[in-house]
Structure 1
Amino acid sequence: MHGAGGRIIAQLWHMGRVVHPSFLGGGQPVSASVTTAPGQAHTYAGKQPYTPARALPLEEIPALLEDFRQATRNAIEAGFDGVQIHAANGYLIDQFLRDSDNFRSDAYGGSIDNRIRLLKEVTEAVAEVIGADRTGVRLTPSSYEQGIRDSDPEALFIRAAEVLSAIGIAHLEVREPPLDGTFGKSERPPLAGMIREAFKGVLILNSDYGFARAQAQLDVGLADAIAFGRPFIANPDLPLRFARQLPVAIGAKRNEYVVQPGLGRVFGLPGGE
């Protein structure tokens, strides 16, 4: 990657309740509150129902923040150029953000600012280690991910964008599948326009983009970059295909890339749609 002049970012995430005890040595998963993820978990013994999570105690939060710091140190040692905090898709930070699953009455529950607190503290902890200018965050504002919803996502995610903007992170990635999305669907129109007003850094959009739709979003200034995931699996030369208007094969998931306007530079972002 570096030999070809590229940059690579490691994605850091904590699954919270969306993990099976068999991966925890039989231990109980944690979440914002005592809840159970819907559906079944993939395990080495096949699919099994998720189990109830315990509410993460206040006294364990410092250790959680240190885990994120250590993961960031590990990423630096491994040669990554930056990190992205996965605060989306119904995983732990998202479980704290949304009122469908955060029933806490302490400093991490109730008001929007309280529910954002863990996101803010994790972001600050990571930025302490690697610098805010090498820290990104991923959010999924408009979609229903693994049982996680919020009654007022506009207010929640606009405030989250303001807080992340004040920290000065390098980028904010927003994954918002369309209402008729092919890999997850949103329950409401995208919030990217409102987030764009609240977040002053680099804004990246993701999910169900082809070249024409992506370029249109860039042309109107709704985003600074578009992240492509699934198309890269079947089209490892995707930027070349876009640039030459060649046919694009359909298929696959995972592994994400960002193509900036003009298709001049491509940056790898692990994980994603």
Structure 2
Amino acid sequence: MMKTFYSILYCSIRPNQDERITIGLFMADGVQCHFAYAADKLNVIKDLLPEGGYQLIKSNLRAIEQLATSCQSDLLKGHKGQRFLSESYLEYLSVYANNLLTFSKPVPLNMALDEHTFDKLFEKFVFALTGQQQSGQDPVAHAKQRLVKSIGDRVNFDVELTENDVAGLIVPSKVSFIGRNDVKVVGEMSDFGKALHALKLQIRAHLFLVDTIRRQEKDAKFFFVGDEPSKKLKDHHDIWESLKNYRPIQWVPTDEVQQIEEYMANHDVSPFFERV
């Protein structure tokens, strides 16, 4: 089994003087990977480079992000970018890549690859994650605590759905809560200021679940709880806006969860899974 490793991505500001800025972090274990870059730093770099150089960096970062996402979601391991997950390939890039964006030599880690580890390294080497809240001040967590008390007898919280629960669901999917009346009632929650790679994976998986359920139950009810992120985080805001305007899902800000409570009571929703 391959070990976890990480590689820091740098942006060269003045190559002749070896002046560079950390801009992103890549982490993989040969099977899965995470990649994220600091959007705020990218905005600063915009003023330090010619327009052509900035646009090249921006497009390259998004290409790397797309490649990493493709590898992460490639269950059959058939994507041509699978070599991107190997330590040897990143080491090759660290030696031979000679342009505005460069990878550091991969560093091995004796720990499993997960979102928490990635976020800690990202904050250490790249940038503090925008949108992270102090414990007890997270509006999404606060909204969830309220719903657990107010609708806990009508839904199941934090469950994983499989093909046994949803016909056609190829990959197991986690949801924040689920109940039913005549049709399924599904809810998901997210902090839209969290690391972009994690947000994209969550939204992509949830939309697949929504589409799969709707093929069987057109009238199924879907809620998504979360708040509008800063417009400075363009990619985050674009995702939020797209989801907010997606008609099958009812968008609910964290301070308006009474909409969910009223729906559950008015439609006599009951838990999807029987209580043990």
Fold agreement, TM-score > 0.5: no
**TM-score normalized by structure 1?**
0.27
**TM-score normalized by structure 2?**
0.27
Q: Which structure would you say has the larger Rg?
A: 2
**Whose relative contact order is higher, 1 or 2, with alpha carbons under 8 Å and at least 6 apart?**
2
Structure in which a larger fraction of residues adopt helix: 2
